[in-house]
Amino acid sequence: MPIINGKYSTYDSPFLDELVKGIAVQIDPKLTISLDLFPEFEPINTTKIKWYDGKTYALEGQIGTGGWTDGVDTTALPISAELASLINVGDVLRIDNEYVVVKSVNRTGFTIDVYARGHGGTTGAAHTVGTAIYILGNAQVEGTVDGDNLLEDTIEQINFTQIIEEPIELSITAQKQKYLDVADKMNEERTKAMTRALKKLNQAILFGKPSAGSKTTPRSFGGLKHYIENTSGSFNYNVGGTFTETHLKNVLLEMARRGGSPNTILCSPDVKSIINTFNASNTRYTRAERVAGNFVDRYEGEGVGVLDIVADPFLRHSFGEMYIINTRKLGKTWFVDDKLRFAPEPANSRTLKETLQGQLTVRVKDVVTDCSRMYGIS
C-alpha cells in the first residue's frame, strides 16, 4: 500500500488535547506531507535533545598506501582508513582471490597483521593500492577471546525545541455575529491559525537549522536537510542537471552497500512526474479507476526493496533537492509542558484573543546508512 498522507498527523497524536486534534483534522493533508512522515514519540522535558548514531559503513575497504608487495608478508599490511575503523581481530578478508584472517589491527597507522597469507587453501599474491577488501566473516582460534576492544565510531547529534506561535483575534461586533455565532467564528479563526502553523512546520521539518537561541534570539530545530547535509559520512549525491532513473539507482545501490533500509522517496511534484515515466512498459497497475496518465506509487530498488514515492508540493523544484529516507528512523516530539494548544490572551470587551502555541523538535537517526540527499536537480 502507498503511504497515506496524514499517517502521523497532528490529529492522530495521543499527547494533544481534543480541541487541537479536532481543529487539526480539518487541515488538508496535502499541506503537511513531510511533517506527517515523522512519527510522534513521547513528549520531552528539555529544550535540547541528544542522540547517538552509529557511523556504520559497508563491510569493505581498500588496500592502503604502498600496496601489498608480495604474497608472503603477514605484518604491517596497509589498509584504508575507513576499513581500519571497522575491522576487528578474526575478520576474514578477501582481496582479489586471496583470503586472510586478521590477527591484529593498527587503527592509527592503518595496517593489519594476518595469521597467514592464502587462508583456506587460497594463494597469497601481491595487491596494488586501491584494490577492494571485503569482510566475509569472522574466525577465531579455539579457546581464545582475542578481540581488540573495537569501539565503533559514534556520531553525537543535537537538536533544540522550536517555539511556535500563531495569533488569533476575533472582534465581537454585530457584523461578525450576523451570520455566525462567536463560537463558530472562533473555530474558523483557529483553523486558519492551525493551517498557518502546520504549513510552516512542514517547511521547518525539511529545511530548519538548529540554534540554541538566547534571551534575545529565537531557538530553532534542525530539519531533514541539515542532518543529511552536515553529518560526517552521510551520502549527498550531486545530480548536476536533469534527474534520471540512473541517478536514483546510483543512490539506492550505495545505500544498499552501506546496509541501509530506506522506505520512502520524498521529492517535489516535478521530480515525481519524471519518476512516473520510469520503465513505463513494465509498470504494474492495480487501479480499477479509468484515469488518464501514468502514475507510479512505489519504486523497487535492488538491495533495498520497495519504496513509497511521496511528492510534497512544498518541496520546491527550485531548491533542486529530493531525499531517500527511512521514516522509521524519524521522529517529532512536543515539549511536555508546552504541547500544542490554544492559549487565551488578554483582550477587552470588544475582542477575543488566543495564541496557538507549543514547542516541537525532531530527530533524524542513522543518517549515514538510512538517509540520503540528492541535490543539483535542474
Asked if residue 1 belongs to a domain, the reply is: no
Sheet holding 372-377, edge to edge: 235-241, 372-377, 322-325, 264-267, 305-311, 298-301
Q: What is the pLDDT of residue 255?
A: 93
What mean pLDDT do residues 7-12 have? 86
Q: Note whether 145 and 171 are same-domain residues.
A: no
Q: Are residues 146 and 201 in the same domain?
A: no
**Lowest mean per-residue pLDDT among 107-111, 126-130, 175-179, 330-334:** 175-179
Domain boundary (92, 124, 151) is at 151
Residue with more model confidence, 200 or 174? 200
Name the residue with higher pLDDT: 180 or 274: 274
The better pLDDT of the pair 146, 256 is held by 256
pLDDT at 257: 85
Same domain, 69 and 165: no
Position 141 scores a pLDDT of 86
Mean of all residue pLDDT scores within the chain: 88
CATH assignment of the domain containing 94: 2.40.33
139 and 40 share a domain?
no
Q: Does the pLDDT value for residue 29 go beyond 80?
A: yes
Query: Both 170 and 71 in a single domain?
Result: no
**Domain extent at residue 147:** 60-151
Residue 354 lies in a domain: yes
Q: What is the mean pLDDT of residues 70-89?
A: 91
Domain shared by 237 and 327, yes or no = yes
Looking at residue 112, its pLDDT comes to: 95
Is it the case that residue 281 has pLDDT exceeding 60?
no
**Mean pLDDT, residues 89-110:** 94
The verdict on residue 236 lying in a domain is yes
CATH number for the domain that contains residue 256 = 3.90.1690
With a cut of 90, say whether residue 38 has pLDDT above it.
Answer: yes
- 24 close to 348: Cβ distance less than 8 angstroms: no
Q: How many structural domains comprise the chain?
A: 2
Q: Are residues 89 and 37 located together in one domain of the fold?
A: no
What residues are paired with 364 via a beta bridge? 330
CB 88 within 8 A of CB 105: yes
Grid cell 583456506 is found at 120
Task: Tell me the mean pLDDT in the region 27-55.
Answer: 91
With a cut of 70, say whether residue 370 has pLDDT above it: yes
Q: Which residue do the cell numbers 587462508 mark?
A: 119
In this structure, the answer to whether residues 49 and 64 fall within a common structural domain is no
Q: Are 244 and 117 contained in the same domain?
A: no
